[in-house]
Amino acid sequence: MKKIAFVINYFHPDYASTGQLMTELCMHIKNDFEITVIAAQPGYSQDTYSGKSKKKIETEYWNGMKIVRVQLPQVNKRSKLSRMKYILQYFVLANIALLKEKNVDLIYTISQPPVLGGLIGTIGKFLKRSKHVYNIQDFNPEQAAAVNYTGGTVHKIAKQIDQLNCRYSDHIILVGNDMKQTLKNRFGTNHQLSHSVINNWTDENEIVPLSKKDAHVSAFLKEHHLEDKFIIMYSGNLGLYYDLENLIKVSSTLHSIPDIHFLYIGEGASKKEMQDYVSKENLKNVTFLPYQPKEFIKYSLNVADVHLVVNQKGIKGVSVPSKIYGVMAAGKPILGVLEQDSEAEFLISTSHSGLVSEPQDYVHFVENIKTIYNLTNEERQEMGMRGRQYLDAHLKKELSLNKYKETLNNIINK
């Protein structure tokens, strides 16, 4: 049986969306390949991981797979220094762990941490004499440059390194059709890099449309004093790439409509700034909650009347907000803040499951909120269910997982 080493940073039981996706992928193919996963300990910090150990690298076994955990410092996402310390320690330890693995036929890496995730595969390809599949969830440093997080010499060096990762990989997997243009921008229209597009997914059998009368949904609303509210929900990473620190200010504009309520579920670098704004303005129409347990997400997503799916300007072709698949599965209308012809905008527009405004066009964003707010319950339900129907027809989990299995089989046996 051929052996694949997944070097993927996040893995079960981590809440990170890529961790959940990679866990489901590994579970799907574990009978076809011998699987080793090299990942950070969950929750960024040893303190939050139940399997406490002082070892820098530790091995465990889970569901017939070998899991190699690397111990990392706790990260403050608002601090560049803290992020760099975390990323560099992961890079060093993950390389060491990979080099210790024997008889690796294929190394699978993702674009996390930025640039260095792929570089682990490039280094491993030559030292282990194996093949390398590079899954680009986000193009960096393009993503960081879009929010002015990096620039100048650092940007140039990082881009050169990631171009090297792409050139020396045996195959590149992109998660959105719009990302093909970014690949062309990097290498020109005549590039011969082997690549394919495989959408991310959600478990459409696990997340299904539920009404607010469902016992779990109703209990959640009551617990957080959200009964009789029109809930605009953002569920996921409150990070730097979504312009949330500006979108939160719309809450002030809509404060005069008493039943409109914004609910943010998740953590991230922008959360404190958002909370500070809400506190400063004394807004009563905003609630923040931490990530919900994975088994409860099927209920929490159904709490919303409408979901936010947003990206900062400049992210088109660079990243795809994977939360859109869960929202479509829940059959809820979508308020998109997305660039035209981006992957997520295409899905919303094609399925007619929501309304979209351009990033930083806050006036249009407010207009779209009011438009969906003024629909009847039946009209909103029909809008949301069009997204669910499109997902069932084109974006099922099994479809993406089987594409991965076929692609990996083709590459490893070539």
Q: Full-prediction pTM beyond 0.85?
A: yes
Please give the average per-residue pLDDT across 368-375, as a whole number. Answer: 98
129: domain CATH number is 3.40.50.2000
State whether 315 and 249 are in the same domain: yes
- In the structure encoding, which two tokens stand for residue 164, read together? 């090297």
* DSSP line for 354-394: EEEE-TT-HHHHHHHHHHHHTS-HHHHHHHHHHHHHHHHHH
Please give the average per-residue pLDDT across 121-130, as a whole number. Answer: 96
State whether 196 and 299 are in the same domain: no
pLDDT digits (tens, 9 = 90+) for 39-80: 998 864 333 444 455 689 999 999 999 999 999 888 776 677
- When pLDDT is cut at 50, 70 and 90, the band that residue 247 belongs to is very high
β-partners of residue 309 are 336
State whether 223 and 328 are in the same domain: yes
Residue 124 lies inside a defined structural domain of this protein: yes
State whether 65 and 104 are in the same domain: yes
State whether 129 and 278 are in the same domain: no
Residue 367 lies inside a defined structural domain of this protein: yes
Overall domain count for the chain:
2
Note the Cα 409 to chain centre separation in Å.
Answer: 25
48 exposed, middle or buried (CB, 10 Å; 0-12, 13-18, 19+)?
A: exposed
pLDDT digits (tens, 9 = 90+) for 292-311: 988 999 999 999 999 999 99
State whether 178 and 289 are in the same domain: no
Print the domain residue range for 41: 3-201+396-412
State whether 401 and 389 are in the same domain: no
User: In terms of DSSP bridges, do strands 230-235 and 306-310 run parallel, antiparallel, or are they unpaired?
Assistant: parallel
State whether 191 and 235 are in the same domain: no
- When pLDDT is cut at 50, 70 and 90, the band that residue 154 belongs to is confident
- In the structure encoding, which two tokens stand for residue 340, read together? 């035209």
Residues 276, 69: Cα–Cα separation, whole Å: 36
Residues 240, 106: Cα–Cα separation, whole Å: 33
State whether 153 and 239 are in the same domain: no
Q: How does DSSP classify residue 290?
A: P
pLDDT at 153: 86
Q: Name the residue among 200, 166, 198 with its Cα closest to residue 185.
A: 166
Lowest mean pLDDT among 113-127, 147-161, 189-203, 234-248: 147-161
State whether 26 and 171 are in the same domain: yes
Residue 207 lies inside a defined structural domain of this protein: no
Residue 37 lies inside a defined structural domain of this protein: yes
pLDDT at 226: 97
Residue 208 lies inside a defined structural domain of this protein: no
Residue 363 lies inside a defined structural domain of this protein: yes
β-partners of residue 69 are 39, 58
Please give the average per-residue pLDDT across 16-34, as a whole number. Answer: 95
State whether 181 and 220 are in the same domain: no
Residues 19, 282: Cα–Cα separation, whole Å: 36
Residue 206 lies inside a defined structural domain of this protein: no
pLDDT at 79: 77
Q: What percent of the chain has pLDDT over 90?
A: 83
- When pLDDT is cut at 50, 70 and 90, the band that residue 1 belongs to is very high
pLDDT at 76: 76
Residues 116, 87: Cα–Cα separation, whole Å: 8
pLDDT at 176: 96
Residue 129 pLDDT exceeds 80: yes
Residue 232 lies inside a defined structural domain of this protein: yes
Give the contacts of 100 (CB within 8 A, at least 6 positions apart): none
State whether 34 and 118 are in the same domain: yes
